[in-house]
């Protein structure tokens, strides 16, 4: 099923009036326009539509949000907060896009773990030898 995602295939869809609780795993892309509470995991794209209402820990390749999301959001490649979105929580991704008209409250980390600078240990000053 193709739904305006270009070459990506939509693997699943939760429409308005649908409620899901638990752990959701999917291949390809998945769109949520209903309610989800729990955990969402995928290597690929999660789309939260305008009527989507998600309270979850999210760990996906790309997370594109136009609805409401609360929780920890990890986008391995990118997180997008589109106009009209309301997001509260923690965002972790090497790429973060926030459109004008999006609302975000929380913390974000846009440094990939492997490229995170290592802490620097200060050198101790050399002691002068008293002769």
Task: Please state whether the predicted TM-score (pTM) of the whole model is above 0.75.
Answer: yes
Helix, strand, or coil here: 34? coil
In whole angstroms, what is the distance from residue 104 CA to residue 68 CA? 10
pLDDT digits (tens, 9 = 90+) for 29-78: 999 999 999 999 999 999 999 999 999 999 999 999 999 999 999 999 99
Residue 115: DSSP 8-state? G
Question: How distant, in Å, are the alpha carbons of 73, 83, 118 from that of 22?
Answer: 16, 28, 37
pLDDT digits (tens, 9 = 90+) for 67-108: 999 999 999 999 999 999 999 999 999 999 999 999 999 999
């Amino acid at each position: 099923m193709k739904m305006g995602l270009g070459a990506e295939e939509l693997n699943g869809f939760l429409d308005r009036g649908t409620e899901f609780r638990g752990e959701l795993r999917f291949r390809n892309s998945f769109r949520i326009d209903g309610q989800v509470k729990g955990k969402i995991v995928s290597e690929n794209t999660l789309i939260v539509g305008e009527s989507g209402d998600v309270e979850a820990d999210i760990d996906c390749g790309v997370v594109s949000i136009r609805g409401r999301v609360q929780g920890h959001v990890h986008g391995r490649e990118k997180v997008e907060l589109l106009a009209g979105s309301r997001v509260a929580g923690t965002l972790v991704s090497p790429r973060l896009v926030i459109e004008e008209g999006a609302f975000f409250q929380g913390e974000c980390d846009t440094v990939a773990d492997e490229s995170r600078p290592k802490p620097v240990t200060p050198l101790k000053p050399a002691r002068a030898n008293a002769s």
